[in-house]
């Protein structure tokens, strides 16, 4: 399966385009890395691709089919700041099961401890919360993961553990990944190809 974003243009404010005629293709068996200057529009592109921004021009397709948005969105965005995407009034078991109930083995692989499930989001560290947001995104209906600087807040050892687990799961389940990062060394390890944002954005 291929995720294609074709000729995407978008501006938050009139006459101030952020994305212009940008096209990107991601196969389900690859990790595509994306690097670029701060403020250039990478997160904006991530939001377009994963359905958070809707009033763009161009198309986002899976094997040339437009995405049916009434159902579970098959392109899941994982943000840099997990706390911003979680309801502070929900305990972690509810935050997770809103998406699905992952098997215990997968929870162990991501180092997610059972006793965290009964806590509120503000009772966990950023790195602990990020494990929940990654696991939440790995719903069986997910076809692509858009990872927008997801490991910036993790120490080096945890970063490797989380990426290993994510790469392994995605490979086994034929989930393609777009990985946005400023960390060139990380992308060189995890990505099959690395794209430079300024080269694909036709501003």
Binding site for Mg ion (CB under 5 A): 43
CA distance 25 to 79: 21
- Please give the structure tokens belonging to residue 142: 């997910």
CB 72 to ligand ATP: min, Å: 25
Locus of tokens 């969105």: 73
Under the criterion CB under 6 A, does residue 151 sit at the interface with ligand ATP?
no
Question: Which residues, listed in sequence order, are joined to residue 188 by a DSSP beta bridge?
Answer: none
Residue partners of 196: CB distance under 8 A and separation at least 6: 35, 36
For ligand ATP, the binding residues in 9-48 under the rule CB under 6 A are: 12, 18, 36, 38-44
- Chain centre to alpha carbon of residue 148: 5
Among ligand ATP, Mg ion, none, what does residue 44 contact (CB within 5–8 Å per kind)? ligand ATP
Among Mg ion, ligand ATP, none, what does residue 18 contact (CB within 5–8 Å per kind)? ligand ATP
Identity of the residue, 135 or 149, whose beta carbon is nearer to ligand ATP in the bound complex: 149
Query: Residue 74 in contact with residue 141, Cβ under 8 Å?
Result: yes
**How many residues interact with ligand ATP (rule CB under 6 A)?**
10
Locus of tokens 């794209």: 195
Helix and strand counts by DSSP (H, E) for the chain: 7, 9
CB 148 to Mg ion: min, Å: 6
CB 37 to ligand ATP: min, Å: 7
CB 18 to ligand ATP: min, Å: 5
List of residues contacting ligand ATP (CB under 6 A):
12, 18, 36, 38-44
């Amino acid at each position: 399966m291929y995720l294609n974003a074709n000729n995407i243009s978008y501006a938050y404010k009139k006459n101030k385009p952020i994305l212009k005629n940008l096209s990107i293709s991601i196969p389900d068996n690859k990790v595509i890395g994306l690097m670029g200057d701060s403020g250039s529009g990478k997160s904006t592109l991530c939001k377009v691709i994963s359905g958070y921004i809707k009033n763009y021009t161009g198309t986002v397709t899976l094997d040339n089919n437009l995405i049916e948005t009434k159902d579970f969105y098959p392109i899941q965005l994982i943000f840099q700041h997990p706390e911003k995407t979680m309801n502070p009034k929900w305990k972690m078991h509810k935050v997770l099961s809103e998406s699905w109930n992952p098997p215990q083995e997968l929870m162990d692989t991501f180092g997610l401890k059972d006793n965290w499930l009964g806590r509120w989001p503000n009772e966990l560290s950023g790195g602990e919360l990020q494990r929940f947001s990654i696991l939440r995104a790995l719903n069986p209906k997910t076809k692509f993961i858009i990872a927008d600087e997801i490991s910036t807040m993790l120490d080096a050892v945890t970063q490797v553990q989380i990426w290993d687990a994510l790469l392994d799961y995605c490979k086994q389940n034929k989930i393609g990944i777009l990985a946005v990062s400023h960390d060139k060394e990380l992308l060189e390890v995890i990505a099959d190809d690395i794209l430079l944002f300024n080269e694909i954005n036709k501003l």
